[in-house]
């Protein structure tokens, strides 16, 4: 039940204010000893011509608060503080979670609505580095979150498989390409010749010209260039698939930039019909002064297309094909002007779906003082980071296994190391607001203590261990469905229950702000509260078997919360570690 709504209704009778307004004004006190809900009386002081302190005292002394779920009502300064009956609360929260299981965080607010999440979108022929991981991890998590809320989610990998860079690559490959190296390690070989091209290009303008010619031939569909491009693309996709597979990331569409090249004429004629295209130094642009934005370049002076035209084509296609409720672009913050322009062009052209397009930006992944740059070769490849993380996890598991004398098989150990190691990397990207820059450091990326994925997974594994032991001893939480749950009224238990009950709200906030950290924080808080409880009370060893069952029920609820929460972040839990 929703205690806030209930209390607001009671207050409404006393104060005469609308119940909804009261619910909006209600607060959660900063300290638990101040109660569970608080009503600030400032708003009443003007109309009643009394000090808020006096009003609070009057309300608190009212006799209308005799509901069974209210323990007490006290005024403190200008606030009326409500203390919920802990037993009542425990029964309500725990039984709901146990009955609904993982569905307790589900919602149907998204039923019948399609959300497109464009994310990851790596450039073909370039290594998948720790910067790409940001959009991949963010988009993956957002997809799962929207999915959980009932939306129809379309995951789109808008591959960077087009543009002048491919002219460069074709030129470079013909000059310096090594067939066997390409076969053995495609991305490394493509990167090698790409870097080489940029070195040589400085002293040889002919190379630049060749590259442009080759891109033009590619765009014109010349078979030789097309075949090479296709090969680069296939090899790259195969390499990317390995990384996605490791992280459990999937897509519904791999429609990349190249897929839209034949729709560009449609975009241009559409804009021409609306009379929006203007010649400017030989190029064709859409003026956006009324949006206070610089003009958007749609066709270059040499007649070829540019990313803005391809993004326009993609948005138009998605509208026709999916009729989306939301079209989200999980792309780095530096591209925010670009998206503003694209959306503004759509809006100016009268496309009503422009307002449903949203750029979900994120910060830069930096390396000390410099940006990662493919051309300069100062990058950290995601696979290396994952491997390091897994290796470190493996060490810890092995030494723990020895210490605890567990009988885990080598396969199980490897599986755990994989999940914890990869989860750890994922969590690093999702623990703070997405617009923050991440300064890459091995030390911090591989810190497994405190606020980290291993902490969450560890808490889960530990709790599962208790539940397994309980089962072995024939103790069950099932007889806790009666009043035993109302025995859960210690401070630690109560604090934990509040956090559990707030999880669905955290998920909705994560979706509405496209900020998975709203969720990761809540899961982290739950784990911390549980560990506190765990260290303060014995669960299986308590002499009262009703309390024992009730505590086991809390353990189950915590497992459910952590498992679903981490799943929505893209992190797997393990039964033992």
Partner RNA sequence: GGGUCUAUAGCUCAGCAGGAUAGAGCAACAGCCUUCUAAGCUGUGGGUCGGAGGUUCGAGUCCUCCUAGGCUCACCA
Catalytic residues: 126, 129, 132
**Under rule CB under 7 A, residue 431 binds RNA:** yes
Q: Which member of 47, 280, 373, 478 binds RNA (CB under 7 A)? A: 280
Q: What is the closest distance, in whole angstroms, from the C-beta atom of residue 153 to RNA in the complex?
A: 24
User: Which of 1, 28 has the CB closer to RNA?
Assistant: 28
**Under rule CB under 7 A, residue 539 binds RNA:** yes
462 C-beta neighbours (distance < 10 Å), count = 17
Q: What is the closest distance, in whole angstroms, from the C-beta atom of residue 553 to RNA in the complex?
A: 14
Q: CA–CA separation, 183 vs 204, rounded Å?
A: 29
**Under rule CB under 7 A, residue 59 binds RNA:** no
Instruction: Please list every residue from 156 through 175 that binds RNA, using CB under 7 A.
Output: 160, 162-165
Range in contact with RNA (rule: CB under 7 A) among 65-73, 199-207, 242-250, 391-399: 391-399
CB 264 within 8 A of CB 310: yes
**Under rule CB under 7 A, residue 297 binds RNA:** yes
Long-range (24+ apart) CB contacts under 8 A made by 66-70 are 67/6, 67/10, 69/1, 69/3, 69/6, 70/7
Q: Which member of 55, 534, 566, 572 binds RNA (CB under 7 A)? A: 534
**Under rule CB under 7 A, residue 454 binds RNA:** yes
Q: Which member of 14, 181, 364, 445 binds RNA (CB under 7 A)? A: 364
Question: What DSSP state is assigned to residue 122?
Answer: P
Residue window 190-229: x/- pattern of binding to RNA, with contact defined by CB under 7 A: ----------------------------------------
413 C-beta neighbours (distance < 10 Å), count = 18
**Under rule CB under 7 A, residue 577 binds RNA:** yes
Number of H helices, E strands in the chain: 21, 13
Q: Which member of 436, 473, 478, 483 binds RNA (CB under 7 A)? A: 436
DSSP assignment of 318-356, as one string? Answer: HHHHH--SEEEEE--GGGHHHHHHHHHHHHHTT-GGGGG
What would the two tokens of residue 380 be?
């950290």
Instruction: Please list every residue from 459 through 478 that binds RNA, using CB under 7 A.
Output: 461-462, 464-466, 469
Q: Which member of 48, 181, 333, 349 binds RNA (CB under 7 A)? A: 333
**Under rule CB under 7 A, residue 42 binds RNA:** yes
Q: What is the closest distance, in whole angstroms, from the C-beta atom of residue 358 to RNA in the complex?
A: 15
**Under rule CB under 7 A, residue 28 binds RNA:** yes
Q: Which member of 6, 257, 259, 493 binds RNA (CB under 7 A)? A: 257
**Under rule CB under 7 A, residue 300 binds RNA:** yes
Long-range (24+ apart) CB contacts under 8 A made by 529-538 are 529/492, 529/495, 529/496, 529/499, 530/459, 530/463, 530/496, 530/558, 531/459, 532/492, 532/495, 532/496, 533/490, 533/492, 533/493, 533/495, 533/496, 534/462, 534/463, 536/490, 536/492, 537/490, 537/492, 537/493
């Amino acid at each position: 039940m929703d205690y806030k709504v209930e209390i607001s209704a009671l207050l409404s009778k006393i104060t005469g204010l609308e119940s909804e307004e009261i619910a909006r004004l209600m607060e959660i006190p900063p300290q638990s000893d101040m109660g569970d809900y608080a009503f600030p009386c400032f708003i009443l002081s003007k109309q009643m011509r009394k000090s808020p302190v006096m009003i609070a005292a009057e309300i608190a002394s009212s006799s209308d608060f005799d509901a069974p779920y209210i323990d007490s009502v006290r005024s403190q300064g200008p606030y009326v503080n409500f203390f919920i009956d802990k037993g009542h609360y425990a029964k309500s929260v725990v039984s709901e979670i146990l009955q609904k299981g993982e569905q307790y965080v589900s919602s149907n607010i998204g039923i019948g609505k399609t959300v497109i999440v464009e994310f990851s979108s790596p450039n073909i022929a370039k290594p998948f580095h720790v910067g790409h991981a940001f959009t991949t991890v963010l988009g993956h998590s957002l997809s799962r979150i929207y999915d959980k809320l009932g939306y129809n989610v379309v995951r789109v990998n808008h591959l960077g498989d087009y543009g002048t860079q491919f002219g460069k690559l074709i030129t470079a490959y013909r000059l310096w390409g090594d067939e066997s190296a390409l076969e053995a390690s495609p991305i490394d070989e493509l990167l090698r010749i790409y870097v080489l091209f940029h070195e040589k290009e400085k002293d040889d303008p002919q190379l630049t010209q060749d590259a442009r010619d080759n891109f033009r031939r590619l765009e014109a569909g010349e078979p030789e260039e097309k075949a090479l491009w296709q090969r680069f693309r296939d090899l790259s996709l195969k390499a990317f698939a390995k990384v996605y597979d490791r992280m459990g990331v999937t897509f519904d569409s791999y429609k990349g930039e190249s897929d839209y090249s034949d729709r560009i004429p449609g975009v241009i004629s559409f804009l021409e019909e609306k009379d929006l295209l203007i010649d400017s130094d030989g190029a064709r642009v859409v003026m956006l002064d009324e949006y206070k934005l610089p003009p958007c370049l749609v066709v270059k002076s040499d007649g070829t297309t540019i990313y803005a035209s391809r993004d326009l084509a993609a948005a138009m296609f998605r509208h026709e094909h999916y009729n989306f409720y939301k079209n989200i672009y999980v792309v780095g913050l530096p591209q925010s002007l670009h998206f503003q322009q694209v959306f503004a062009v759509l809006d100016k052209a009268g496309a009503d779906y422009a307002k449903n397009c949203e750029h979900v930006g994120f910060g830069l992944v930096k390396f000390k003082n410099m940006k990662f740059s493919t051309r300069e070769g100062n990058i950290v490849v995601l696979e290396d980071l994952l491997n390091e993380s897994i290796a470190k996890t493996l060490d810890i598991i092995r030494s723990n296994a020895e210490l605890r004398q567990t009988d885990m098989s080598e396969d199980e150990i490897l599986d755990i190391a994989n999940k914890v190691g990869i989860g750890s990397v994922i969590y690093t990207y999702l623990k703070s607001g997405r617009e923050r820059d991440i300064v890459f450091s091995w030390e911090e990326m591989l810190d497994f203590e405190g606020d980290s994925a291993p902490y969450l997974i560890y808490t889960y594994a530990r709790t599962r261990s208790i539940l397994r032991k309980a089962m072995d001893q024939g103790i069950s939480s099932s007889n806790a469905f009666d009043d035993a749950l109302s025995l859960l009224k210690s401070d630690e238990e109560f604090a934990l229950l509040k956090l559990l009950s707030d999880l669905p709200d955290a998920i909705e906030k994560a979706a509405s702000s496209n900020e998975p950290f709203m969720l990761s924080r809540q899961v982290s808080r739950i784990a911390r509260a549980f560990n506190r409880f765990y260290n303060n009370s014995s669960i299986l060893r308590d002499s009262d078997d009703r309390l024992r069952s009730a505590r086991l029920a809390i353990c189950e609820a915590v497992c459910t919360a952590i498992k679903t929460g981490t799943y929505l972040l893209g992190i797997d839990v393990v039964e033992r570690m």
